[in-house]
Amino acid sequence: MPPRSTPTKPRPSASEDEVRLDRLRQRRRRYPLWRLVWANLRDDLRLLKRAWFSLSALLLVLSSGTLYLYWAYFPQHCQTDGSDCGVDLAQALYETLQLLIFQSGLAFPPDLVGRLLFFAIPLLGLFFLLQSAIDLSRLIFDKSANPEIWQIALARTFSNHVIIAGLGRVGYRTALQLLDAGYEVVVIEADWASEFVATLLQLKVPVVRGDARDPQILRQAGATRARGLIAAINDDLRNIEIVLTARRIAPDLQTVLRIYNRELDANLERSFGPNTAFCISMLSAPTFAAAALSREIVQVLNLPEGLLGISELTVAPESSLSGFVRSIEEQYGVRVLRHRDPHGRERRPGFMQQFAAGDVVLMIGRLENLERARLANVPQSKTGFLRPLVHQATGPTLNGVIVCGMGQVGLQVIRLLLANAPHAEIVAICTPDTPARIVAEISQLGVRVVKGDARLPHVLAEAGLERAYALASLYSNDLLNVQVGMAARSQRPDLHLVLRVFSDVLAERLAVLFGINTAYSTSALAAPALAAAAIRYDVGYAFDVGERILATRVLHVADGDALLGQRVADLREARGQLVICLRRSGSSFVPPGLEERLQPGDEVVVVGDIRRN
CA separation for the pair 336, 326 (Å, rounded): 9
Asked if the model's pLDDT at residue 344 lies above 60, the reply is: yes
Q: Tell me the pLDDT band of 51, cut-offs 50, 70 and 90.
A: low
Give the pLDDT mean for 43-68. Answer: 78
DSSP state of 71: I
CB 346 within 8 A of CB 339: yes
Mean of the per-residue pLDDT values for the chain?
Answer: 85
> What pLDDT was estimated at residue 487?
93
> What pLDDT was estimated at residue 193?
86
> What pLDDT was estimated at residue 123?
82
Q: Which amino acid is at 438?
A: I
* Three-state DSSP state, 443: helix
CA separation for the pair 47, 133 (Å, rounded): 11
> What pLDDT was estimated at residue 418?
92
Give the pLDDT mean for 143-152. Answer: 74
**Which pLDDT tens digit goes with each residue over 403-414?**
999 888 899 999
More confident residue, 276 or 531: 531
CA separation for the pair 497, 515 (Å, rounded): 8
More confident residue, 380 or 9: 380
Query: Which value, to the nearest 10 degrees, does the dihedral of the CA atoms of residues 424, 428, 429, 433 take?
Result: 180
> What pLDDT was estimated at residue 8?
43
Q: At what angle do helices 89-100 and 112-145 cross, to 10 degrees?
A: 80
Q: How far is CA 483 from the centre of its chain?
A: 29
Which of 116-125, 139-148, 565-574 has the lowest average pLDDT? 139-148
* Three-state DSSP state, 117: helix
According to DSSP, the β-strands at 334-340 and 277-279 are unpaired
The percentage of residues in the chain with a pLDDT greater than 90, rounded to a whole number, is 45
The three-state (H, E, C) secondary structure of 20-60, written as one string = HHHHHHHHCCCCCHHHHHHHHHHHHHHHHHHCHHHHHHHHH
According to DSSP, the β-strands at 207-209 and 228-231 are unpaired
Asked if the model's pLDDT at residue 339 lies above 60, the reply is: yes
More confident residue, 158 or 114: 158
* Three-state DSSP state, 102: coil
Neighbour count for residue 549 (Cβ, 10 Å):
26
**Which pLDDT tens digit goes with each residue over 246-305?**
999 999 999 999 988 766 666 676 677 777 888 888 889 999 999 998 888 889 999 999
CB 145 within 8 A of CB 31: no
Q: Which of 523, 578, 571, 574 is nearest to 550 (CA)?
A: 578
* Three-state DSSP state, 346: strand
Number of residues that make up the chain: 613
CA separation for the pair 86, 361 (Å, rounded): 84
More confident residue, 129 or 475: 475
Neighbour count for residue 140 (Cβ, 10 Å):
13
Upstream peptide bond of 396 is cis (omega within 30 degrees of 0): no
Give the pLDDT mean for 231-235. Answer: 92
Domains contained in the chain, CATH given: 51-145 (1.10.287), 150-259 (3.40.50.720), 282-293+397-538 (3.40.50.720), 314-383 (3.30.70.1450), 547-609 (3.30.70.1450)
**Which pLDDT tens digit goes with each residue over 356-409?**
999 999 999 999 999 999 999 988 765 554 444 444 343 456 789 999 998 888
CB 153 within 8 A of CB 43: yes
DSSP state of 398: -
> What pLDDT was estimated at residue 139?
59
**Which pLDDT tens digit goes with each residue over 184-218?**
999 999 998 888 999 999 999 999 999 999 999 99
> What pLDDT was estimated at residue 99?
84
Asked if the model's pLDDT at residue 138 lies above 70, the reply is: no
Q: Tell me the pLDDT band of 3, cut-offs 50, 70 and 90.
A: very low
| pTM (predicted TM-score) | 0.80
Q: Where are the beta strands (DSSP E) in 83-126?
A: none
Q: Residue 564: exposed, middle, or buried by beta-carbon count in 10 A (0-12, 13-18, 19+)?
A: middle
**Which pLDDT tens digit goes with each residue over 320-337?**
888 899 899 999 999 999
Long-range contacts of 52-61 (CB under 8 A, 24+ apart): 54/128, 54/131, 54/132, 54/135, 55/128, 55/132, 57/124, 57/128, 57/131, 58/125, 58/128, 58/129, 58/132, 61/120, 61/121, 61/124, 61/125, 61/128
CB 256 within 8 A of CB 274: no
Which of 39-48, 91-100, 283-292, 525-534 has the lowest average pLDDT? 39-48
Please list the alpha-helical segments (H only) found in 515-575. 522-535, 568-575
CA separation for the pair 529, 537 (Å, rounded): 11
CA separation for the pair 320, 312 (Å, rounded): 16
Give the pLDDT mean for 511-535. Answer: 80
**Which pLDDT tens digit goes with each residue over 87-101?**
888 888 888 888 888
Burial 417-437 (b: 16+ CB within 10 A, else e): beebbeebbbbbbbeeebeee
CA separation for the pair 345, 184 (Å, rounded): 27
Q: Which of 355, 357, 316, 358 is nearest to 336 (CA)?
A: 355
The percentage of residues in the chain with a pLDDT greater than 70, rounded to a whole number, is 88
Q: Where are the beta strands (DSSP E) in 374-518?
A: 400-404, 425-430, 448-451, 468-473, 496-501
CA separation for the pair 98, 95 (Å, rounded): 5
Give the pLDDT mean for 489-518. Answer: 77
**Which pLDDT tens digit goes with each residue over 437-493?**
999 999 999 999 999 999 999 999 999 999 999 999 999 888 899 899 989 989 998
Task: Name every residue whose Cβ is closer than 8 Å to that of residue 197 and which is 6 or more positions away in sequence.
Answer: 167, 189, 207
Neighbour count for residue 277 (Cβ, 10 Å):
27
- Phi, psi of 605, deg, nearest 5: -100, 120
Give the pLDDT mean for 580-589. Answer: 94
Asked if the model's pLDDT at residue 612 lies above 80, the reply is: no
Q: Which of 521, 485, 508 is nearest to 283 (CA)?
A: 521
> What pLDDT was estimated at residue 269?
66
CB 314 within 8 A of CB 358: yes
The three-state (H, E, C) secondary structure of 470-500, written as one string = EEEECCCCHHHHHHHHHHHHHHCCCCEEEEE
CA separation for the pair 548, 485 (Å, rounded): 32
